[in-house]
Amino acid sequence: MAFAAFASGMAEAALLVLLAHIALTIGSPEAAGLSGGVGPFGQLNLPIRASFGVALALVTTRAVFSLWSASIASGLTARLTADCRAGAFADFTAASWAAQSQRGEAELTDLFQRHVSRATTSIAPLSQGFGAACTLLALVTAAFVLDPVSAALLVAAGAVLFAAMRPFGALAKRLARRQVEAGREYASLCLEAVATSLEMRSFGVGSQVSDRLAESTDREVSPQRMAMFLKQVVTTTYQTATVLLLLGGLFAVYALIDRPLATLGAIVVILVRSLNQATAVQAAYHSLSENAPFIVNLDRERAALRESAPERGSAQVHEPGPFRFHHVSYSYGGTSTALTDVSFEVEPGEAIGIIGPSGSGKSTLIQLLLRLRWPDTGSYLIGETDTADIDDESWYSRIAFVPQESRLISATVADNIAFYRPTVTTHDIQSAAKRAYIHDEIMGLPHGYDTVLDQRGGGLSGGQRQRICIARAMVRRPSLLVLDEPTSALDLRSEALVHETFTELKGEVTLFAIAHRLSTLNSCDRIMVMGDGRLQAFGTRAELQASSPFYRQALKLSRIRIDVDG
Ligand SMILES: Nc1ncnc2c1ncn2[C@@H]1O[C@H](COP(=O)(O)OP(=O)(O)OP(=O)(O)O)[C@@H](O)[C@H]1O
Ligand SMILES: [Mg+2]
């Protein structure tokens, strides 16, 4: 790109000198003869017809190099934009769940969208600025060939001017840092408003939410407005100052140093063209200053995400052995203790219910079971293999999770069940849907399995969404199935049917389920009672009934619903 831009600049400089030579030769052939023409063309004594031919060749050369340079620049911009997006998302997907969940939805959306877009919008002015710098260098070189003294004076003045503009760059950075903060706050408020739109409507507080968004917008647009104005101030100041410098310099050259008028004319046109290039360089510098906080932030966040990535193991899970927690403790951020010294062993094929009051560590426990978080102390083994050593592919092909909140993607029902897993077949999808008792309802949709859903599951009830998520979990016949209250949104009939499926799965799948309903507990072989981050009791219902005072208390505190059975 540097070569193409420099060559284009050289062709342009030569063309400008040649134009001056042609103008002098046409306007005053005698003067041209006396002064020897302008620059190298004068020395070559180029006849007027040949001059036109050379000019045509130079115009073509300049256009070719200029287009070549522009094509490289646009290709570079597109590639860097794509790389930056893909890289940021790859860092996110490789990061640990602890790092992923620590960042809010708004923060991440802002990082992937605004930050990436601001970071990559600097690429265009940067590549243009780089091209302009090369062209500028070529033009200045030509000016030096023609008249070193005038050229040196103007280059020095340009450098002083560039340095004088630096404080503007610092101010642009400060304004951009304010925009980083304000923009994130706005993104967060928007997401929150969308997520709580049902509450917003039912409490009739739409205008208050709008006011809060408007205040946040003000905080973002005010530095934005100043930044835009600053950009204009910088460009205008720079152009005005350079023109003034040019005029002053020319006057000095004219008054103090004796120069042939034609040479002076050629230098003038070259320097005027240089002005444009110098302005582009300055604009690139300013744009970089403006976007620097976004680039720095993006870089820092990406590095933090990369550093959090768990080490990859290589062991394969062949036969699902017993699941063993051995004195496992876990605390959030090293301070808030959520699990203390938890030990248990669960045989493959067992169905385990987890109960305990709110905040007792149930969700934390299943996140460790799913290898989403890692024990601070103690170990988690499958058979004799430490789960930290297990290869990711081998792990993911054997586990499945049904979260409490069923989240759908904007895709067809079939794609929602397959959920990005390329090896899942149509047969797998349909048999999973049948096991989750959602097949008949899917067939009743306008396009069956090809009906497109949106993230909010438009057209589906909460219970239907939940059964789609259950089908999603069962599609690859996992050997470990973890459920965060699998039937909370189901009506009594669907719930009974889904429990029938869980009963059918017994022995085939190891199942852990956080239970909020007695019916879920009834499908379980053994029950874990969590309290204060500790495993207070673990046994069959009959054992716990007899031996565990925690059990009854935990049932009560867990707000277990007994409306199905009782
Ligand atoms: N992301 C987090 N950062 C810091 N502390 C957390 C985080 N998530 C949970 N905790 C804390 O860890 C403890 C256990 O939380 P956990 O979510 O495991 O409880 P739970 O039994 O699932 O509760 P619930 O029934 O209300 O869902 C609680 O004291 C909670 O405040
Ligand atoms: Mg929970």
Q: Is 336 in the pocket of ligand 1 (CB under 6 A)?
A: yes
pTM of the model: 0.75
Q: Is 558 in the pocket of ligand 1 (CB under 6 A)?
A: no
DSSP SS3 for 203: coil
Neighbours of ion ligand 2 (CB under 5 A): 363
Q: Tens of pLDDT along 237-262?
A: 877 887 787 777 677 767 766 666 66
DSSP 218-262: HHHHHHHHHHHHHHHHHHHHHHHHHHHHHHHHHHHHHHHS---HH
Question: What is the 536 CA–ligand 1 centroid distance (Å)?
Answer: 17
Q: Whose CA is nearest to atom 13 of ligand 1?
A: 338
Q: Is 398 exposed, middle or buried (0-12, 13-18, 19+ CB in 10 A)?
A: buried
Question: What CATH number belongs to 2-172+223-304?
Answer: 1.20.1560.10
Q: Is 360 in the pocket of ligand 1 (CB under 6 A)?
A: yes
Q: Which pLDDT belongs to residue 39?
A: 63
For residue 35, pLDDT over 60 is answered with: no
Calculate mean pLDDT across residues 422-451: 93
Q: Whose CA is nearest to atom 14 of ligand 1?
A: 361
Q: Is 355 in the pocket of ligand 1 (CB under 6 A)?
A: no
* Domain map (residue ranges) of the chain: 2-172+223-304
Q: Whose CA is nearest to atom 20 of ligand 1?
A: 359
Ranges 216-225, 308-317, 338-347, 383-392: which has the least confidence: 308-317
Question: What is the 356 CA–ligand 2 centroid distance (Å)?
Answer: 10
Q: Tens of pLDDT along 131-183?
A: 788 888 888 888 887 778 777 877 787 788 778 888 888 898 899 888 888 88
Q: Is 519 in the pocket of ligand 1 (CB under 6 A)?
A: no
| Token output for 29 | 């052939």
Position in ligand 1 atom list of the atom nearest CA 337: 12
For residue 434, pLDDT over 90 is answered with: yes
Whole-number Å distance between alpha carbons of 544 and 529: 9
Question: What is the 361 CA–ligand 1 centroid distance (Å)?
Answer: 6
Q: Is 497 in contact with 543 (CB distance < 8 Å)? A: no
Q: Tens of pLDDT along 507-528?
A: 888 999 998 777 778 888 999 9
More confident residue, 259 or 542: 542
Residue whose pair of structure tokens reads 């780089």 in the numeric block:
130
